[in-house]
Amino acid sequence: MSVAALLLGDSRFPAGGHAHSGGVEPAVTAGTVRDLETLEAFLRGRLRTAGLVAAGIAACACERAASVSGGPFWDDLDAEADARTPSPAQREASRRQGRALLRAARVAWPEATGLLAIAAAVRARPGEAGPGSGRVTSDAARGEYRGGPHHAIVLGAAAAAAGAGPGAAARIAAYQAVAGPVSAAVRLLALDPMRATGVLARLTREIDEVAERGAAFAGGPPGDLPCASAPALDLLAEAHIRAEVRLFES
Amino acid sequence: MTVAAPCGRNLVAASASVEAVAGPDGTTRLPVLASQVPLVLRRTPDAVYLVGGAAGPLGGDSLSLSIAVGAGARLRVRTAAASIALPGLDGLESVLRLSVSVAEGGRLEYLPEPVVVARAARHATLVSVTLAAGASLLLRDEVLLGRHGEAGGSARTELRVTYAGRPLLRHSLAVCGTDPASLGPAVLAGHRAAGTLLAVNESAAGRGGEPGAPTAGAAAAPVGAPVAAARAMPEVAVLPLAGPGVLVTALAHDAVSLRRRLALP
């Protein structure tokens, strides 16, 4: 993996990821994540569901970022990501993170055609005529934020901009699907940071496996991308967005 | 129909189909109602029932059901009882493939009883739905890991729905009753029953209200008070999809609670 790809995967890359717990905060509130053991079970479940979906989408976006210029592909991939995210709270979290990542990545790699095309596709979306316009209106009626691209799509295009291939894009996506929740858990449960990192170290082989499974979808039709769901993550995300006190956005 | 398995056992491969069309007087006719044991279809005034013509599904069985609802036609499909997926001797997965198409103005309610996946069994329910613009759908899926007091086997559910040529929902769930990550806090959170109820264009089907409006209200006020709900593991949520549909998703410890939770607001 290139240094440019490491930069993208680094939590210090200014894309706002620290504001999201990936469902750990509501799980701590619900009492289902309490310690290192329950955290590890949470991470394994998250990795093979949300992590696999993100890895597949990121790999697909990375594969096509250099070759696809027009909006239809990015709109199709956006619709596929929406269809894999039934929870409005999670769609919103993904789009907010995607918007922040797109801003940072466009400053880092201003010439990247994939990032430019995604930004143009997002700008063209609200108020557009034709198919999908009714959808935008009804989403506006329920107040859902649609002003950003899905995070995994931007991540894939940014990886391509950083000179990385679909395999590396999938690896960053799968790693981030569990690394962010670990640092959130350290803060929320006052866990020993070294032992928490030890949990992550034990998961690295599984992260690689999930990334490889996701990367295998890079060249296929977006409709075939993995769609593994995690019911508890959906339920927790919806409870969290309605909670009175929140440290993390999601 | 049976085919010989590599290990010698006869595996069941069966397909059944039903086609509903709207007659000139507004009633729905069923020009096609084809059964193949163990997929036996029975017509009743209330619904077409899928009655189990044999035990199972057993590991290795491959069952396909195809449902087509024409423009303006209405069809309800139910099963007579819960199905209990049992392991075969060869460790193979049993698979039920459901293929659905609904034309404009047509409506399908597919409301089967739950699938109970017995210990060591492996079962998959693979659902593919093509909805034309203006079609409506109510589709329930419930899976229970294990009979009472039994750790369940492996269950795989896949739901792929397109509406007017666009993806509406791509949703799969793979869980196993003896897998700590499945039972863990991200997936089943200690529950053995999981289910979804998908409603597409429910308002067009005469439930009333503006498209999107009733679900938005319901999403803002889920079961239980928001603050109280946040203190315990939430067990049901009403999820308005990005497209014209609502997914109710629920977890439960038993089939009765799961069914109660899988209700539209």
pLDDT tens, A141-188?
456 788 899 999 999 999 999 999 999 999 999 999 999 999 999 999
pLDDT digits (tens, 9 = 90+) for A30-61: 999 999 999 999 999 999 999 999 999 999 99
Among residues A162, A209, A198, A155, the alpha carbon closest in space to that of A7 is found at A162
| Residue A147 sits at the chain B interface (C-beta within 8 Å) | no
**Interface contact flag, B185 A223, Cβ < 8 Å:** no
| Residue A46 sits at the chain B interface (C-beta within 8 Å) | yes
Among candidates B184, B188, B242 on the partner chain, residue whose Cβ is nearest the Cβ of A139:
B242
Per DSSP, the three-state class of A48 is helix
User: With contact defined as beta carbons under 8 Å apart, do A197 and A186 qualify?
Assistant: no
Least confident of B109-113, B127-131, B149-153, B182-186: B149-153
CA angle B85, B89, B92 (to 5 degrees): 60
Q: Which comes out higher in pLDDT, residue A157 or B203?
A: A157
- Whether domain A3-241 has CATH 1.10.4190.10: yes
Residue type, B246: V
Judge whether residue B227 has pLDDT over 60.
Answer: no
Q: Which residues of A touch B243 (CB under 8 A)?
A: 82-83, 135
pLDDT digits (tens, 9 = 90+) for B1-54: 555 445 556 778 999 999 999 999 889 999 999 999 899 999 999 999 999 767
Least confident of A205-209, B55-59, B171-175: B55-59
Q: Which residue has the tokens 């679909």?
A: A166
Among candidates B172, B185, B190 on the partner chain, residue whose Cβ is nearest the Cβ of A227:
B172
Radius of gyration over every alpha carbon of chain A, rounded to an integer in angstroms: 17
Residue B158 C-alpha from the chain's centroid: 9
Q: Which residues of A touch B237 (CB under 8 A)?
A: 87, 234-235, 238-239
Residue type, A15: A
pTM: 0.91
Residue A187 CA to residue A199 CA, distance in Å, equals: 15
pLDDT of residue A145: 81
Least confident of A27-36, A91-100, A131-140, B251-260: A131-140
pLDDT of residue A134: 40
pLDDT of residue B120: 95
To the nearest whole angstrom, how far is the Cα of B57 from the nearest Cα of chain A?
A: 24
Residues with Cβ < 8 Å from B263, sequence gap 6 or more? B197, B248
Residue in B with minimal Cα distance to A136: B242
| Residue A130 sits at the chain B interface (C-beta within 8 Å) | no
As for the ipTM of the complex, it is: 0.92
CA dihedral sign of residues B110, B112, B116, B117: negative
Among candidates B172, B190, B212 on the partner chain, residue whose Cβ is nearest the Cβ of A229:
B172
Count Cβ–Cβ pairs < 8 Å, chain A vs chain B: 168
Residues 5-24 of chain A with CB under 8 A from chain B are: 23
Residue type, A57: I
Mean local confidence (pLDDT), A94-106: 96
Beta strands B166-176 and B154-163: pairing type? antiparallel
Residue B119 CA to residue B190 CA, distance in Å, equals: 17
Per-residue burial over A70-99, b if 16 or more Cβ lie within 10 Å, else e, is ebebbbebbbbbbbbbbbbbbbbbbbbbbb
Question: What single DSSP character describes residue A166?
Answer: H
What are the structure tokens assigned to A11, written together?
Answer: 């939590």
Residue B190 CA to residue A159 CA, distance in Å, equals: 37
User: With contact defined as beta carbons under 8 Å apart, do B177 and B152 qualify?
Assistant: yes
Judge whether residue A124 has pLDDT over 90.
Answer: no
Name the most confidently modeled range: A125-134, B158-167, B207-216: B158-167
Please provide the DSSP assignment of B27-44 as one string.
-EEEEEEE-BTTEEEEE-
Q: Which residue has the tokens 């509903």?
A: B20
Test mutation, A135, A138, A245, chain B, max B CBs within 10 A:
A138
Between the CA of residue A99 and those of A17, A149, A151, B56, B222, what are the distances in Å?
Answer: 11, 6, 7, 49, 28
What are the structure tokens assigned to B238, written together?
Answer: 């009403």
Residue in A with minimal Cα distance to B229: A239
Residue in A with minimal Cα distance to B195: A231
To the nearest whole angstrom, how far is the Cα of A100 from the nearest Cα of chain B?
A: 21
Residue A154 CA to residue A114 CA, distance in Å, equals: 9
Among candidates A48, A223, A239 on the partner chain, residue whose Cβ is nearest the Cβ of B234:
A239
Test mutation, A235, A244, A246, chain B, max B CBs within 10 A:
A235
Residue A16 CA to residue A138 CA, distance in Å, equals: 28
What are the structure tokens assigned to B203, written together?
Answer: 């308002």
Judge whether residue B223 has pLDDT over 70.
Answer: no
To the nearest whole angstrom, how far is the Cα of A163 from the nearest Cα of chain B?
A: 30
pLDDT of residue A137: 37
Residue B27 C-alpha from the chain's centroid: 26
Judge whether residue A77 has pLDDT over 90.
Answer: yes
